[in-house]
């Protein structure tokens, strides 16, 4: 907690905004956690971070729109300020004295313009910086207020901004189209020499044998220590073994869904070996698939196309 407090204290000096900034906590390294006390916290923080990253395109559009609104309001306020300063300047003598007087009373001018034009105080620029900047200008050369331009800004803020906001909301409801490609190495235009070919989940896709079977004897030794019942280990016993990997629960939950092919809440020897294979893939730094590729489906859980054809033929 001391380190966390020192970090927040340091960030407070760097981030010069009144808003509370979100700080994500976690262990951002590719290896399993050595200390599992904060597992749940790190998992929740990681999920929040991923969700925020996914929302960046939408949030970026909103930020740009908010910046546009802020700049439009600020330009409108500047127009009111400089037109008032020009109007108060004498035509011939005493310009410098009047300029100093106006700059000194700028806070009062702000309040007067707020009441007269019904402007929020937050739309006005920083009064101290404004006073410093005004020292370098000749107020008599400021342009006069053009109400048509002010009306255009008001029309934009009241109508165009609402249209842009609706467009953002419509885009938010659309999901990006996902390309569905056949073959084990989807998305690779370079064929067997493309990036990721034969690595991670893709390993074994171009071989006839089930790649998991290469390490299955070792997995079987672990499997039979978990007291299988009728050839299957319970979810509780399998969970204890899978937790030894120290992978986050969210990752292990995904591995379980991929490995439990028959969705019975238990694992047979092939499903257990598949789970161990997927854990190995994740520990090696590769990503897990959203769906189990055909070449990783355990042989006993694969459909027999020939049998299906014969069965359907008998029905005819």
Angle, alpha carbons 13-15-18 (nearest 5°): 105
Query: Six-digit token pair at 170?
Result: 């419509």
Question: What confidence tier does 179 reach under pLDDT thresholds 50, 70, 90?
Answer: very low
Q: Is the pTM here over 0.85, yes or no? A: no
Residue 121, pLDDT score:
84
Q: Which residue has the higher pLDDT, 233 or 71?
A: 233
Q: Is the pLDDT of residue 210 over 90?
A: yes
How many C-beta atoms lie closer than 10 Å to residue 49's C-beta?
A: 15
- pLDDT of 180 > 50? The answer is no
Fold of the domain built from segment(s) 59-172: Topoisomerase; domain 3 (1.10.268)
- Whole-number Cα distances in Å, 98 to 81, 83, 87: 15, 15, 11
> Mean pLDDT, to the nearest integer, of 265-283?
93
- Residue 285: its pLDDT value, please? 79
User: What average pLDDT does range 57-66 have in this prediction?
Assistant: 74
Q: What angle do CA 35, 39, 42 make, to 5 degrees?
A: 115
Residue 3 has pLDDT above 70, yes or no: no
| 36, two tokens | 């599992």
Mean pLDDT over 224-246 rounds to 91
Mean pLDDT of the chain: 78
The tens digit of pLDDT for each residue in 15-53 reads: 665 555 677 777 766 666 666 667 777 777 777 787 777
pLDDT at 174: 52
Residues 6+ positions from 27 with CB-CB distance below 8 Å: 33, 42
Is the pLDDT at 112 greater than 80? The verdict is: yes
The crossing angle, in degrees rounded to 10, of helices 161-173 and 56-88 is: 170
Residues 6+ apart with CB under 8 A from 81: 109, 110, 113, 130
What mean pLDDT do residues 134-145 have? Answer: 88
Whether the CB-CB separation of 269 and 223 falls below 8 Å is answered with: yes
The residue written with tokens 């927040």 in the block is 8
Residues with Cβ within 8 Å of residue 216, at least 6 apart in sequence:
269, 270, 273
Domain 204-315: state its class. mainly alpha
- What is the mean pLDDT of the segment spanning 217-230? 92
How far CA 135 is from CA of 132, 142, 181, 194, in Å, comes to 6, 13, 66, 64
- Kindly list the domain boundaries of the chain, sorted by start residue: 2-54, 59-172, 204-315
- Segment 159-167 long-range contacts (CB within 8 Å, at least 24 positions apart): 161/65, 161/68, 161/69, 164/65, 165/65
């Amino acid at each position: 907690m001391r380190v966390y407090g020192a970090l927040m204290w340091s960030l407070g000096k760097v981030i010069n905004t009144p808003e509370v900034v979100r700080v994500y906590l976690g262990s951002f390294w590719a290896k399993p956690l050595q200390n599992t006390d904060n597992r749940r916290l790190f998992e929740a923080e990681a999920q929040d971070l991923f969700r925020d990253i996914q929302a960046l395109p939408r949030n970026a559009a909103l930020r740009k729109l908010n910046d546009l609104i802020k700049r439009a309001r600020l330009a409108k306020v500047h127009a009111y300020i400089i037109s008032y300063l020009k109007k108060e300047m004498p035509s011939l003598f005493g310009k410098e004295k009047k300029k100093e007087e106006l700059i000194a009373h700028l806070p009062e001018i702000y309040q007067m313009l707020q009441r007269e034009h019904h402007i929020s105080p937050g739309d006005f620029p920083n009064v101290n910086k404004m006073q410093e900047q005004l020292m370098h200008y000749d107020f008599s050369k400021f342009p006069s207020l053009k109400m048509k331009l002010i009306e255009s800004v008001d029309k934009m803020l009241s109508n165009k901004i609402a249209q842009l906001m609706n467009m953002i909301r419509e885009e938010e409801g659309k999901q990006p189209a996902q390309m569905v490609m056949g073959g084990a190495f989807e998305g690779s235009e370079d064929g067997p020499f493309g990036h990721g070919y034969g690595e991670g989940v893709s390993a074994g896709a171009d071989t006839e044998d089930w790649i998991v079977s290469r390490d299955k004897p070792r997995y079987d030794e672990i499997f039979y220590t978990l007291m299988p019942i009728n050839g299957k280990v319970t979810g509780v016993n399998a969970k204890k073994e899978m937790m030894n990997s120290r992978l986050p629960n969210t990752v292990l939950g995904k591995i379980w869904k991929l490995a439990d092919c028959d969705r019975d809440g238990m694992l047979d020897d092939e499903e257990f070996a598949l789970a161990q294979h997927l854990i190995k893939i994740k520990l090696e730094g590769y990503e897990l698939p959203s769906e189990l590729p055909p070449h990783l489906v355990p042989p006993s859980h694969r459909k027999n196309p020939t049998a299906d054809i014969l069965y359907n033929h008998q029905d005819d």
